[in-house]
Amino acid sequence: MEKDERLRDHLTERLAPFGARARVTFDDVRCVDLEGGLDLGSALVSIMPFDPKLATDLIRHVFTCPRVEYGLVVVPSTSAQLLTRCTDLAVVEVDGIARSSFWPPAPTVLRVLAIGRRSTCSS
């Protein structure tokens, strides 16, 4: 999902080598029918907004869709802290990203997170 139409040509070109395995929908993720538009076992791969609350809320929203199995996201470090408190998500920090990796530089410290669903099975 990408809300910014200015990225259409760039993202379409960059994802072309992945064929049908990757696609971009240009819309606000909160306005899209995820249940009807995603295949079972889909992944969220995203650089989230740099606003910690918005990034956290968007990830939580996407994971309400049972078709989304896992994610690899770049988020502000505050979002990483908030997401690790979620009892229904398994969140592991896998890397950090320098602010200078973005232009203009990111306004906050960023983390790369692997996200999955916590097992609800009990013995």
Residue/partner pairs of 32-41 with CB below 8 Å, 24 or more apart: 32/1, 34/62, 34/64, 34/65, 34/67, 34/68, 35/65, 35/66, 35/67, 38/65, 38/67, 38/68, 39/67, 40/67, 40/69, 41/67, 41/69
Cα 67 to Cα 40: distance, rounded to the nearest angstrom: 4
- Supply the pLDDT for residue 120: 54
From first to last of its 123 residues, the chain has per-residue pLDDT tens of 888 888 889 888 988 999 888 878 888 888 888 888 888 999 998 889 999 999 999 999 999 999 999 999 999 999 999 999 988 999 999 998 888 888 788 898 999 999 999 875 444
Q: Which amino acid is at 60?
A: R
Could you give the domains of the chain?
A: 1-32 (no CATH), 41-117 (3.40.50.150)
Q: Is the dihedral of CA 97, 31, 6, 22 positive or negative?
A: positive
Q: Going by C-beta distance under 8 Å and a sequence separation of 6 or more, which residues neighbour residue 5?
A: 26
- Supply the pLDDT for residue 122: 44
